[in-house]
Every structure is written in C-alpha cells, then in structure tokens.
Structure 1
Amino acid sequence: MKSTVVIVFLFIMFQGFSQDFKKHQWKNRVLIVSTIDDTSSDFLKQIDLLKNLNQELKERKLIIYQIVNDKYKVGFSSNFNSSNSISKKYVNTKKGLQIILIGLDGGVKLKQNYVLTAEKLFAIIDGMPMRKRELRKNK
C-alpha cells in the first residue's frame, strides 16, 4: 500500500503540475487547500483536520493538494514542489485560505474561504450521484 502511494506521488511529480487538474478527472476527486501563508492558523488547522482522515479520504477517492503561492504538494508529504503553472482558474490565494472541492467530473463542487469540517466535506461528497453509485456498487 505504501509503495503504491510513493509510486503515485512520484508519477505526479514527473508528470508536472496539471494546470487544470484534468489528470484526475473520472479517477479522483480533488480537494485544494491554498493559502499565501503556510503558517496561518486556518491553513494549519485545515491540514491537521485532513491528516487524520486517511481511510475516509481513500474511500472517497479524494486527493489533497496543498498550495502555497507558487509551491504545491500532493497529500501530506513534507516537501513542497515548485511550480510556475499553478492553475489561476481554481486558485486565488490573495483571499487567504481557500478550499476548493473538484468532483470526478472535473467540476467545482465547493469553494469557500474558511476551514472545512470533515462532516461537511463528507456530506457533500456522499451526496454526489457518482458517490451514491459507488456506495450501492460496493454493498
């Protein structure tokens, strides 16, 4: 399992940062957590909240992108990667903390500027038609 995560992460690094996150379309949902200050209390609180939800994130095919100015990381790795191609379509870090949820279809499902609770995140995802189909199929 750990080797799969490492392989996926390395693949993402070598592919470069997809400007529109299209590479995840129909495979994964994406949660973008962006800020201009990676030491801000809201950003740290949001990342802390998500770190403890590995199983729930995996079940919902949810990948986390942390974006700080022109740096990003996928998941909760310790190192940021530089990127000059951060998507301006999805990310506006001038507002401080920004949370964006992108569905399997590539559409923006949620956009907010304050900490997103696990309950709200999972309620939104679990209410999506494709997620409902996944749950029915897995029963």
Structure 2
Amino acid sequence: MSQNIASHQWENRVLLVLTDDTDTTTFQNQIKEFQSHENGLTDRKLIVYQIKKHSYTVGLKDEAWQDSSKLYKTYKTAKAPFEIILIGLDGGIKLRQSHILNCEELFKTIDVMPVRKEELRDKKY
C-alpha cells in the first residue's frame, strides 16, 4: 500500500484516523463507526488509513501494519491523542477534528461538495 496520499487524488477521498494508541476507546469506537457504514464509505469513494506513531494500515479490517512514521509526522497536528482528517478528491483537507466523527456528519460534509453533487447527478443517468 502506498504511503503517498496524493496517489489517491481524483480517485478516492481519504480518511486519516491518527492515534497515539489503538487500544483507546475513542479509536476503537471510531473504527467501529466506520465499519458499520462501509457501504456509505464505499459509495463516497472513501479509503481509511489507520495511523499510529510508527506504523499505518489501509482499510478497516485487521490488515498488516506497515512500519513508517511518515504519515503520522506529516498529518498529526493536534496535541490530542486522537485526530481524524478528511482529504477530498482534490487532495485538500476538508475536515479535521480531535473527536469521533459519526458517519452522518461525515456523509453530510461530503454530500454538499461540488464533486460529490456531480457524482450523484451522474448516477441518476
């Protein structure tokens, strides 16, 4: 799996879930929230990166973790032990927060974006 988030530009939206500890309730609940809405994530072309200080994995399953601190160092800005970032199709950061992101809020945020509106129009035809 590529560590290069830019490789997803114009193909996928990216969710970065950064944590200091994958055993925290906050992190575990965030992943469960996404797992319970996988169809909505797929429909919105979302790829989830789970990132901790020295490793990362792509997806929501128990995938193998890759050794690297590059993503954590590049994207972690909050002093909070948990952070979530939404990167749009254009590669820009669309949302950043230090608390659990529920999928209803996530989907509302994405569904008002111009490219998403275009995707929905194209689906109708």
- In structure 1, runs of 5+ residues without a counterpart are 1-11
Q: Using the TM superposition, give the Cα deviation of residue 81 of structure 1 relative to its aligned residue in structure 2, in angstroms.
A: 1.2
- Stretch moving more, 75-84 or 110-119: 75-84
CA distance in 2, matches of 1:24, 1:34: 18
Matching residue within 79, 82, 103 for 1:118: 103
What is the letter of the counterpart of residue 29 of structure 1? R
Q: Using the TM superposition, give the Cα deviation of residue 94 of structure 1 relative to its aligned residue in structure 2, in angstroms.
A: 4.3
CA distance in 2, matches of 1:46, 1:118: 10
Matching residue within 30, 42, 47 for 2:14: 30
Q: Are the equivalent residues in 2 in contact too, given 1:34–1:93 (CA < 8 A)?
A: no
Q: Which residue of 2 aligns with 1:88?
A: 73
Provide the secondary structure at the position in 1 that maps to 2:49: strand
% identical aligned pairs: 44
Q: Does 1:39 align with 2:23?
A: yes
Query: Could you tell me the TM-score, scaled by structure 2's length?
Result: 0.92
Q: Are the equivalent residues in 2 in contact too, given 1:32–1:66 (CA < 8 A)?
A: yes
Matching residue within 65, 75, 85 for 2:49: 65
Q: Using the TM superposition, give the Cα deviation of residue 32 of structure 1 relative to its aligned residue in structure 2, in angstroms.
A: 0.4
Q: Using the TM superposition, give the Cα deviation of residue 90 of structure 1 relative to its aligned residue in structure 2, in angstroms.
A: 1.9
Provide the secondary structure at the position in 2 that maps to 1:30: strand
Provide the secondary structure at the position in 2 that maps to 1:88: helix
- In structure 2, runs of 5+ residues without a counterpart are none
Could you say what the CA RMSD is over the residues aligned between the two structures, in angstroms? 1.4
Q: Are the equivalent residues in 2 in contact too, given 1:69–1:93 (CA < 8 A)?
A: no
Query: Could you tell me the TM-score, scaled by structure 1's length?
Result: 0.83
Q: Which residue of 2 aligns with 1:108?
A: 93
What is the letter of the counterpart of residue 81 of structure 2? G
Q: Using the TM superposition, give the Cα deviation of residue 31 of structure 1 relative to its aligned residue in structure 2, in angstroms.
A: 0.4
Aligned length: 123
Q: Deviations over 1:9-35 (max 9, x none)?
A: xxx2xxx411xx100001000000010
Q: Using the TM superposition, give the Cα deviation of residue 93 of structure 1 relative to its aligned residue in structure 2, in angstroms.
A: 6.6
